[in-house]
Amino acid sequence: MNTESFYQQLQEICPGRRTLTRDVDLLPYESDALVAFSTKPAAVVLPESAEEVVAIVKVCYAAGVPFVARGSGTSLSGGSMPIKDGVVIALNRLNAIKHIDPEQRTAVVEPGVVNLHISNAVKQYGLYYAPDPSSQSICTIGGNVAFNSGGAHCLKYGMTSNHVLGLKVVLPDGEIVEFGSESLEGMGVGPDLIGLFVGSEGLFGIALEITVRLLPIPEQYKTVLAGYDTLEKAGDAVSAVVASGLLPGAMEIMDRLALKAAEAAVKTGYPEGAAAVLIVELEGESQQVEREFEHLVNVIEGSGAFEIQVAQNEAHRAKIWKGRKGAFSSVGRLSPDYIVQDGVVPRSQLGKALAEIEKVSNSYGLQVANVFHAGDGNLHPLILYNGREQGALEHAEALAGEILAICIKLGGTLTGEHGIGIEKRDYMPQLFSETDLDAMYAIRNRIDDKGIANPGKKLPGGEAPALKMHGMHPLEKAGIISRE
C-alpha cells in the first residue's frame, strides 16, 4: 500500500483537522475504558456524515487497511481499542436524532447519539429509551448496538437487541445494507439479521442509522434498598423475589467495598454497615406498584435483610442510581487499578457463585468489589490491584480467569454485556467448541473477506497487544503528586 496516497484519500474525505495523524492527536484514542491495553493507530478520522463513513470504509477496503469504529470509548473489554497501523473511525459527530415518531413510538438516530440523549429528546412525548447501561450519560447507541449493551432495567425490558427495530449498515467492503424495518409490525419477516448484527462488536461493519423502539415512561417508581449482613444472603434474596412472582424493573447488588466507593462519590446514605445492599425498583401504574410493593417488602423481610429503605422522592431515587451507575468509576477512589469482569451465572446460582468468588480472591490475596445486575445473574467483580507492583496485573488477570471459569462451571457465560473485545477473546474456546468457532469464522469471513473490520477482537487467534507498562508514576517522580 502506498501510505502517502492512503492518507491523502482520507484527507480528501475528512479535510483539515478531521484526519488526525500526529502523536498528540492519536494518543488519547489509544485505549478505551480498559486501559490495561493500548495500541496507537495510524490515523483517526472524524467523519460528519454517513456518506463520509462509507467513503472511508471503501478507501480502507481498497487498501486493505483495518479499521475500528469508535463511539465514546467506554468499552470495558478493549472493543474500541485501535488496530495497529489501522484507522479509528470516531463517530461522535454523527449525533443527530433524525426522526421521532411519537405515535409509532420509534426514533431514527445516528450512531454517535448518546444513549441518554434519546430519552431526553423524547421525554416531551412521555416516552423513553429503555436500555440503560450505567454509562448511559456518555456511551453511544452505535457502541450499544455493537455490544448488545444492557443495564439495570434490562431485567424487565431486555437488552439493546430487544429495542432495535431497524439498522442501516455499511459492510466492511463499503456496501450499504438495511436490516429490519421502521415499525414494530415489519419485524419477523425473513432471517433475524438485526439479531446477527447486534452484538457483533464491530466485526460486521458500521451501523450508520439505528431505528429504536421507545416505551412510555412508567407512571410510578418505587425504589427499595435492603441491607444484608452477608453477600450470599443478598444473592439468595434475588431468587426469592423472582420466585415470588414479581418482575421488578431492576434488581442490583453492591457489596461492602462497592458501597464504600459509591458512598464516597454521592453521599446517599446507603444502609450503614451492610455487607451487601440489594436495590429493587418497581415501576408501572401506581396502583399496581403499591400492591407489588407490599408483596416485595414481605419477601425481603423474609430474606433476612436487617434494614429496608425506600427512596423518599425523585431526587433521592436519582442519587441512589447515580451511586450505582457511577460505582465502577468510584472504585478508582479505592485503588488506582482494577479489572472489571462481566461473567454471567444462572440466577439460582448467584449465592454460590459469590461465595466461590470470595474464596478464590482470598486465596489470591486480592480485594474484589462486587456490583452487578443481580436480576440477570450478570456479575461484575472488580478486581483491585496496584499496577505499580511488578506482576500485579498478571496476578489480577489470573484471578479474572479463575472467576470466569467459575461462571462457566456453574452453567453461565463469559460476558453479559461488556463484550468479548480483546480482553476475553482467548477464553472463547473454554465456552465454544471448535465447530462453533469455525461457524463464527465462516460467517465473519463471508461478510468481511479481507478481515479489516475490527480484526483481532472477539474471535480467538491473532496477535495480543502489548500490556501497558506500570511503575512509579512520573507525576510522583516529579514530586507533583503524592498518595496520602
Ligand X SMILES: Cc1cc2nc3c(=O)[nH]c(=O)nc-3n(C[C@H](O)[C@H](O)[C@H](O)COP(=O)(O)OP(=O)(O)OC[C@H]3O[C@@H](n4cnc5c(N)ncnc54)[C@H](O)[C@@H]3O)c2cc1C
335 scored as a contact of ligand X (CB under 6 A): no
**Cβ atoms within 10 Å of 297's Cβ, excluding its own:** 16
**198/300 with CB nearer ligand X:** 198
Quick one: cell of 121? Answer: 429528546
Among 34, 41, 192, 165, which residue's Cα sits nearest to residue 101?
A: 165
Task: Report the run of H or E that residue 120 belongs to, with start and end.
Answer: helix 115-122
Burial per residue of 230-257, b for 16 or more beta-carbon CB atoms within 10 angstroms, e otherwise: bbbbbbbbbbebbeeebebbbbbbbbeb
Does the footprint of ligand X cover residue 393 (CB under 6 A)? no
Count of positions (residues) in the chain = 484
Contacts of ligand X in 222-281 (CB under 6 A) = none
Q: Residues 6 or more apart from 295 whose CB is under 8 A from it?
A: 244, 246
Least distance (Å) between residue 479 CB and ligand X: 31
Binding site for another protein (CB under 8 A): 22-25, 27-29, 31-33, 35, 46, 72-74, 90, 92-93, 95, 112, 114, 116, 120, 135, 137-139, 262, 264-265, 326-333, 336, 338, 473-476, 478, 480-484
Give the sign of the dihedral formed by CA 128, CA 129, CA 130, CA 133.
negative
Query: Among 214, 159, 155, 185, which residue's Cα sits nearest to residue 377?
Result: 155
- List % helix, strand, coil for the chain (3-state, nearest 5): 40, 20, 40
* Residue of closest CB approach to ligand SF4: 329
Build a one-symbol-per-residue string for 99-138: x at contacts with ligand X by CB under 6 A, - elsewhere. ------------x---------------------xxx---
336 binds ligand SF4 (CB under 6 A): no
The yes or no reply on residue 70 touching ligand X (CB under 6 A) is: yes
CB of 297 to another protein, least distance (A): 30
Side by side, the strands of the sheet bearing 164-170 are 97-101, 106-109, 206-213, 164-170, 176-180
- Contacts with ligand SF4: how many residues (CB under 6 A)? 2
Closer to ligand SF4 at the Cβ: 114 or 214?
114
Question: Pick from another protein, ligand X, ligand SF4, none: which does 201 bind, CB < 5 to 8 A by kind?
Answer: ligand X
Q: Shortest approach of ligand SF4 to residue 326 CB, angstroms?
A: 9
* 106 touches, from ligand X, another protein, ligand SF4, none (C-beta below 5 to 8 Å by class): none
8 A C-beta contact, residue 351 and residue 370: no
What gap in Å lies between CA 185 and CA 290, rounded to an integer? Answer: 33
Q: Where are the beta strands (DSSP E) in 341-471?
A: 367-373, 381-385
Interstrand relation of 176-180 and 276-284 (parallel, antiparallel or unpaired): unpaired
Please, what's the b/e burial string for 112-146 (b: 16 or more CB within 10 A of its CB; e: otherwise)?
bbbbbbbbebbeebebbbbbbbbbbbebbbbbbbb
The item of ligand SF4, ligand X, another protein, none sharing an interface with residue 482, based on CB under 5 to 8 Å by kind, is another protein
The distance of closest approach from Cβ of residue 204 to ligand X in the complex, given in angstroms and rounded to an integer, is: 8
| Residue 76 is a binding residue for ligand X (CB under 6 A) | yes
Binding mask 276-305 for ligand SF4 (x = CB under 6 A): ------------------------------
Min separation Cβ 385 and another protein, Å: 13
Site string for ligand X, 425-454 (x = CB under 6 A): -----------------------------x
Binding site for ligand SF4 (CB under 6 A): 329, 332
Give the residues lining the site for ligand X (CB under 6 A): 32-33, 68-76, 79-80, 91, 111, 133-135, 139-140, 142-144, 146-147, 149-151, 201-202, 206-207, 328-329, 417-418, 454
